[in-house]
Structure 1
Amino acid sequence: MSDVSDQLAHAPKHVQLAIDLIMLLEQHELDPADVIAALEIVKTDFIQKQLTSTQK
């Protein structure tokens, strides 16, 4: 397990975040369709924030 922990520690931030989010969502035993719908809303929100911040 140490090898996996070491690899994760050196993984890009977006990979670390994705793994954290997957673990969090799986712990709550949510319906996958609800998770996907919620992630689409989150993705849209963050894309809009990114576009807004690059226009400043």
Structure 2
Amino acid sequence: MSIENASPELQLAVDLIYLLECNEIDPATALAALDIVRRDFQEKMQHAGTTTPYLPMGQ
């Protein structure tokens, strides 16, 4: 499947992986930062009255 035909979340995931790898970010640092980002966006969704459709980091 072409990335252009992939879901928006998969396209974003590929972009983020590329960005992190190109900048040689330590995997533990990347995961810790992504957990912070996930919590931030969950909070924003709660304030907006929406629910979290997918929690990829085991939460």
- Counterpart residue identity of residue 39, structure 1: L
CA shift, 1:42, in A, is 0.3
Q: Which has the larger radius of gyration?
A: 1
Separation (CA, whole Å) in 1 of partners of 2:8 and 2:28? 26
Q: TM-score, with normalisation over the residues of structure 1? A: 0.82
Q: Paired residue for 1:21?
A: 16
Structure 1 segments unaligned to the other structure (5+ residues)? none
Higher helix share: 1
1:1-56 residue pairs with structure 2 within 5 A?
Answer: 7-54=2-49
Please give the per-residue CA displacement for 1:16-45, whole angstroms capped at 9, x wherever unaligned: 000000000000101111111100000000
* CA deviation after TM superposition for structure 1 residue 54, in Å: 1.4
Superposed CA RMSD: 1.3
Give the fraction of aligned pairs with identical amino acids, expressed as a percent. 44
> How much does 1:53 deviate?
0.8
